[in-house]
């Protein structure tokens, strides 16, 4: 077989399908677009909303994932774990419009009507819930693989030294999993940044209130402000690059034994 | 003092322990067996880490069979030193001390010659010092029995022959009963007062390490001759 076979299909496909679209965005930047976007208060609101909601959603995702990883480690036979495990990966395969609809029905007018006409829906708070819903599984998977990579004897020794399962989890397991926790947070954060469908169905797309970067780009395309859409899009690309590089810089410090 | 009576354990269809019983008095007892004979499983059952299908574990006249590891007062030195990497050696060694306990840990630290490395992190230690620290960590809370699971695995013979007599001196001075697990009768000889072998899920006492060696030798031959 031709030893260049991998090169021949990988390089053109990768550059055509991944790199080229990103370059297309960058080459379409225009001075007018950048200027208009930079003075648009709704753009900055959407940046602020995105960052704030994604940070909080990722934080929540990690907290809940810490709970799940505990069950994974110490009570894998329990009913709680089995049910949680079943639901865990569901959001990954679920169309995010479905997630948005589910959230809308759960926290909307019927159940949370006392909060107002539309229940809890269409507030920044539910944008966070939507982001949490789609990013939790990523955080949970990352933490579970962190737990699975631990040397079990370390936990056993701590138990014989007097720790119950909760003590050993907080004093030994979590500190040793700092890298996994951090990765889980960053993955959850980036998943939250990129969420569109669930956010827009549940939180709406109200400039200045519940609009996030993803929905800002969508709105600008829809109303024909392509220049501004491109500017916001390149901003997103830069943000993603930043996150990816943060992830790759912080590689395991505790790899040595 | 440890008494384990009639321990049964199987994993799926594989019977690992079958009516295994063992007594450790104020002595260092070596439990010798080939790889896969169920040594670690037995030790983890004594420590409360693995649950047996049947059987009883009694430590100092107290039936601990249904207690979790943290209530059994056993010391555990596993196959790899398993030090807590995020803590200094000192914090590792003191980990088992609860606030109310006032124990002179420096005695153990000095006997095991780790005083100079207390401020270091585990990854800065050589293999020998990791093993010493791991032993110190298990000894400082004054366990009622010390369980050691091939703690010198992977260490070269020269180092083993230096470190084992050291360990023996310390364990004798502290008068802690020890169950020391190994697949190597020579290692057992350097450390132990008495010997037992584990074979086919059962534990038998033997009088000398030479006797142990013969039995192990035969069972290895049996295992590999078809
Ligand atoms: N958690 C487990 N699940 C299934 N089988 C196991 C487990 N732990 C040990 N075993 C099996 O039990 C047997 C005894 O293992 P072990 O007690 O570790 O032996 P030793 O320490 O003497 O080498 C081995 O065949 C091993 O594969
Ligand atoms: Mg073993």
* pLDDT tens for each residue of A36-68: 999 999 999 999 999 999 999 999 999 999 999
Q: What is the mean pLDDT of residues A12-20?
A: 93
What pLDDT shows up at residue A120? Answer: 72
Closest atom of ligand 1 to CA, residue B149: 21
**Spans of all domains in chain B:** 2-80+143-225
Q: What is the mean pLDDT of residues B91-99?
A: 90
Q: Whose CA is nearest to atom 3 of ligand 1?
A: B11
Q: Is the pLDDT of residue B219 over 60?
A: yes
Q: Is the pLDDT of residue A243 over 90?
A: no
Percent pLDDT > 70 in chain B is 97
Residues 6+ apart with CB under 8 A from B28: B168, B171, B172, B177, B178, B180, B191, B192, B193, B194
Read off the tokens for B158: 């020269």
Residues 6+ apart with CB under 8 A from B51: B45
* Backbone angles phi and psi of B74, in degrees to 5: -110, 150
Question: Which is more confidently placed, A254 or B131?
Answer: B131
Q: What is the mean pLDDT of residues A237-248?
A: 88
Residues 6+ apart with CB under 8 A from A97: A197, A198, A201
As a whole number of angstroms, the distance between CA B151 and CA B135 comes to 9
Q: Is the pLDDT of residue A254 over 70?
A: no
Our CA angle for B210, B216, B218, nearest 5°, is 105
A contacts of B79 (beta carbons < 8 Å): 153
The CATH architecture assigned to A32-256 reads: Orthogonal Bundle (1.10)
What pLDDT shows up at residue A75? Answer: 96
A153, A158, A160 member nearest B74 (Cβ): A160
DSSP label at residue A115: G
Q: Is the pLDDT of residue A246 over 90?
A: no
Q: Are A195 and A130 in contact (CB under 8 A)?
A: yes
Q: How far is CA B131 from CA A191, B13, B149, in A?
A: 44, 35, 12
Q: How far is CA A141 from CA A26, A87, A170, A248, B182, in A?
A: 34, 12, 19, 18, 38
Read off the tokens for B112: 């095991």
**Spans of all domains in chain A:** 32-256
Q: What is the mean pLDDT of residues A149-175?
A: 97
pTM (two decimals): 0.90
Q: What is the mean pLDDT of residues B8-13?
A: 96
> Of A7-16, B20-29, B46-55, which gets the smallest average pLDDT?
A7-16
pLDDT band at B56 (very low <50, low <70, confident <90, very high): very high
Cβ B122 under 6 angstroms from ligand 1: no
pLDDT band at A223 (very low <50, low <70, confident <90, very high): very high
Q: Is the pLDDT of residue A251 over 50?
A: yes
Would you tell me which CATH number, out of the four given (3.40.50.300, 3.30.420.40, 3.30.43.10, 2.60.120.1570), belongs to the domain B2-80+143-225?
A: 3.40.50.300
What pLDDT shows up at residue A252? Answer: 53
Sheet hosting strand B54-59, strand order edge to edge: B14-24, B2-11, B54-59, B62-63
Q: Is the pLDDT of residue A256 over 90?
A: no
What pLDDT shows up at residue B224? Answer: 76
Q: What is the mean pLDDT of residues B19-30?
A: 96
pLDDT tens digit sequence for A176-188:
999 999 999 999 9
Q: Whose CA is nearest to atom 26 of ligand 1?
A: B36
What pLDDT shows up at residue B207? Answer: 84
What pLDDT shows up at residue B157? Answer: 87
By residue count, chain A amounts to 257
Q: Whose CA is nearest to atom 8 of ligand 1?
A: B41
State in Å: Cα B149 to ligand 2 middle.
7
Instruction: Decide if B96 and A162 are in contact by the 8 Å CB cutoff.
Output: yes
Work out the mean pLDDT of chain B and round it to a whole number: 92
Place of tokens 């395991």: A252
Closest atom of ligand 1 to CA, residue B38: 17
As a whole number of angstroms, the distance between CA A173 and CA A159 comes to 12
Work out the mean pLDDT of chain A and round it to a whole number: 91
What pLDDT shows up at residue A255? Answer: 44
Say if strands B28-32 and B194-199 run parallel, antiparallel, or are unpaired.
Answer: parallel
As a whole number of angstroms, the distance between CA B142 and CA B138 comes to 8
Q: Is the pLDDT of residue A244 over 60?
A: yes
What pLDDT shows up at residue B100? Answer: 59
State in Å: Cα B15 to ligand 1 middle.
10
Q: Is the pLDDT of residue A257 over 60?
A: no
């Amino acid at each position: 077989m031709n030893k260049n076979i991998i090169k021949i299909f990988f390089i053109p496909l990768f550059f055509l399908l991944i790199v080229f679209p990103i370059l297309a965005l960058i080459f379409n930047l225009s001075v007018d677009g950048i200027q208009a976007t930079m003075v648009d208060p709704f753009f900055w609101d959407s940046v602020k909303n995105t960052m704030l909601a994604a940070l909080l959603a990722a934080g929540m995702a990690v907290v809940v994932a810490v709970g799940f990883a505990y069950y994974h480690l110490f009570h894998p036979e329990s009913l709680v774990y089995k049910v949680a495990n079943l639901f865990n990966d569901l959001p990954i395969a679920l169309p995010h419009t479905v997630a948005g609809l589910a959230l809308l029905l759960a926290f909307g007018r019927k159940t949370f009507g006392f909060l107002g006409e539309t229940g809890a829906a269409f507030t920044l708070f539910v944008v966070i819930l939507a982001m949490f819903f789609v990013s939790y599984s990523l955080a949970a998977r990352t933490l579970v693989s962190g737990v699975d990579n631990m040397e079990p004897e370390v936990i056993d020794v701590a138990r014989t030294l007097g720790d119950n399962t909760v003590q050993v989890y907080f004093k030994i397991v979590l500190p040793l999993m700092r890298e996994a926790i951090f990765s889980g947070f960053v993955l959850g954060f980036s998943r939250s940044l990129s969420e569109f469908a669930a956010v827009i169905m549940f939180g709406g797309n109200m400039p200045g209130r519940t609009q996030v970067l993803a929905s800002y780009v969508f709105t600008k395309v829809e109303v024909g402000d392509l220049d501004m859409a491109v500017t916001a899009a390149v901003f997103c690309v830069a943000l993603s690059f930043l996150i990816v590089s943060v992830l790759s810089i912080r590689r395991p410090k505790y790899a040595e034994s | 003092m440890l008494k384990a009576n009639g321990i049964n354990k199987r994993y799926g269809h594989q019977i690992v322990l079958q009516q295994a019983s063992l007594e450790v008095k104020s002595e260092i007892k070596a439990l010798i067996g080939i790889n896969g004979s169920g040594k670690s499983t037995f030790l983890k059952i004594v420590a409360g880490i693995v649950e047996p299908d049947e059987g009883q574990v009694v430590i100092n006249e107290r039936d601990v069979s249904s207690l979790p590891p943290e209530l059994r007062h056993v010391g555990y030195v596993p196959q790899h030193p398993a030090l807590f990497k995020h803590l200094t050696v000192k914090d590792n060694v003191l980990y088992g001390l609860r606030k109310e306990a006032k124990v002179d840990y420096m005695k153990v630290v000095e006997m095991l010659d780790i005083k100079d490395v207390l401020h270091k992190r585990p990854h800065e230690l050589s293999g020998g010092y990791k093993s010493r620290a791991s032993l110190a960590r298990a000894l400082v809370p004054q366990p009622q029995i010390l369980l050691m699971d091939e703690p010198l695995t992977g260490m070269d013979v020269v180092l083993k022959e230096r470190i084992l007599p050291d360990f023996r001196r310390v364990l004798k001075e502290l008068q802690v009963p020890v169950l020391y697990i190994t697949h190597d009768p020579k290692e057992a000889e350097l450390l132990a007062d008495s010997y037992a072998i584990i074979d086919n899920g059962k534990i038998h006492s033997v009088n000398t390490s030479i006797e142990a060696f013969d039995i192990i030798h035969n069972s290895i031959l049996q295992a590999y001759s078809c």
